Amino acid sequence: MSAPDTIEADAVPRIARGHRMQFEPAQDCHVLLYPEGMITLNPSAAEILQRCDGEKPVQAICDELSAAFEGAEVTSDVHEFLRLAASQGWVQFS
């Protein structure tokens, strides 16, 4: 699967079918589960994926994260992560 060259601000990401995110107490972190395995998520990835609900566009996700982290500039990091997540099949866009 190839990553999109750009992520449009109005694209709406959701966690891909067959994948599920949950908090794993034994590892004290969020993980992304899928039939072939599990991905351990760092806190930033978990914050982004929690907002990929199939309803919010990328720009709204960036705005929420910026507000949650005292106005931090997060847009490029969110776009970079979503490109990676799409290339790995973790998220899909509508």
- What digits encode the pLDDT tens for the residues 44-68? 999 999 999 999 999 999 999 999 9
- Distance between CA 66 and CA 56 in Å, rounded? 15
The whole-number pLDDT of residue 2 equals: 57
Q: Residue 1 — very low, low, confident or very high, per pLDDT cuts 50/70/90?
A: low
Level-2 CATH architecture, domain 13-88? Orthogonal Bundle (1.10)
Q: Strands 37-40 and 29-34, how do they pair?
A: antiparallel
Kindly report the average pLDDT of the chain as a whole number: 95
- Distance between CA 82 and CA 45 in Å, rounded? 9
The number of beta carbons lying within 10 Å of the beta carbon of residue 19 is 19
Of 29, 67, 65, the C-alpha closest to 79 is: 65
Q: What is the pTM of this model?
A: 0.93
Distance of CA 7 to the CA centre of its chain: 12
Q: Where are the domains of the chain?
A: 13-88
